[in-house]
Amino acid sequence: MSTGTIWRATVVVPALAVPAFEDALAEEALASSCFERPDSRHWSVEVLFEAPANRLELQSELLTRLARAAAGLELPAPRLSLARLPDRDWVSASQRALPPVRAGRFFIHGAHDRGRAPSGALALEVDAGRAFGNGRHETTNGCLLTLDHLAKTRRFHRPLDLGCGAGVLALAMARLWRVPVVASDIDPWAVAVARANCRKNHLHPWVRPVLADGFAGQCLSTSAPYDLIMANILARPLQRLAPAIAAHLAPGGRVVLSGLLANQEAQVRAAYRAQGLCLVHRRRLGGWVTLELAVPAR
């Protein structure tokens, strides 16, 4: 239980902007959670901090983060509500309020739901911390559903989780096939969180989290070609990475892309079509799209 002053920061944001604003607030946070509003178009993002009792100092820092995130999305900065909480184990209370996520056979849960997976489920305990990806967002959920679908007809031997965040997709692939999985991210903190989650799930012998910017790292090139590349990032980086992803894909391999909005699908698909990759399957959850691509058989 924390002994410092606990603050709760709350913002109400458009549904599609939740990941950006949650990431902006969650740096050095104790816990974070998101809740859909009654109008279904907006979500409440709540983040808990342990900080000095100086309200103005914390408020100024959080307003700066929100303004930066809003500018990147070309949205007005959301109104910040900041409240000092009474002495209580708010971290545990927040965790208990987060239900596990079901995505096909996958059961993604926190430590508070350990041992509660249904029979036959593939359980993964994931602490996202400051790294994106605990299975709750439509992008990660769409990737997990696509993985579950792929695994029913095919076994992959050399998969890559590009932009792994907390590592949930790499963990899912290792749990499915018990094969070596490379998990890369540009953020050192995400790599550290992914590594911790691998050990927590006893999958560290299979998953290798590495720090890399795209395919620039030697470790990604030496492990290629990959027969499955998962990339749950954002539309613009997905477009930029299209030539490199195609170049590192094994013949007959599959590419799964997510992190793009429905109105960004056309330009992302065009970038991969230019590399010879065509759509195999499309999954839409909310306003987000997950694409499965492959080189057409001759």
pLDDT band at 90 (very low <50, low <70, confident <90, very high): very low
Q: Give a yes or no: residue 116 inside a domain.
A: no
Range of the domain at 15: 5-96
What pLDDT, in 10s, does the model give residues 4-18? 588 889 999 998 888
Please check whether residues 158 and 272 belong to one and the same domain: yes
Q: Does position 34 have pLDDT exceeding 80, yes or no? A: no
Please check whether residues 56 and 160 belong to one and the same domain: no
Q: Give a yes or no: residue 117 inside a domain.
A: no
CATH number (domain holding residue 231): 3.40.50.150
Please check whether residues 185 and 261 belong to one and the same domain: yes
What phi, psi does 261 have (nearest 5°)?
-80, 160
Please check whether residues 45 and 175 belong to one and the same domain: no
Residue type, 227: D
Please check whether residues 45 and 142 belong to one and the same domain: no
pLDDT band at 189 (very low <50, low <70, confident <90, very high): confident
How much is the average pLDDT of 23-36?
Answer: 78
How much is the pLDDT for 36?
A: 75
What pLDDT, in 10s, does the model give residues 95-107? 555 678 888 899 8
pLDDT band at 131 (very low <50, low <70, confident <90, very high): very low
Number of separate domains in the chain: 2
CA neighbor of 9 nearest in space, from 36, 48, 43, 35: 48
Q: Give a yes or no: residue 123 inside a domain.
A: no
DSSP state of 269: H
Q: Give a yes or no: residue 107 inside a domain.
A: no
Give percent above pLDDT 90 in the chain: 49
Q: Does position 298 have pLDDT exceeding 90, yes or no? A: no
Q: Which residues contact 46 (CB under 8 A, 6 or more apart)?
A: 8, 9, 10, 32, 33, 34, 35, 94
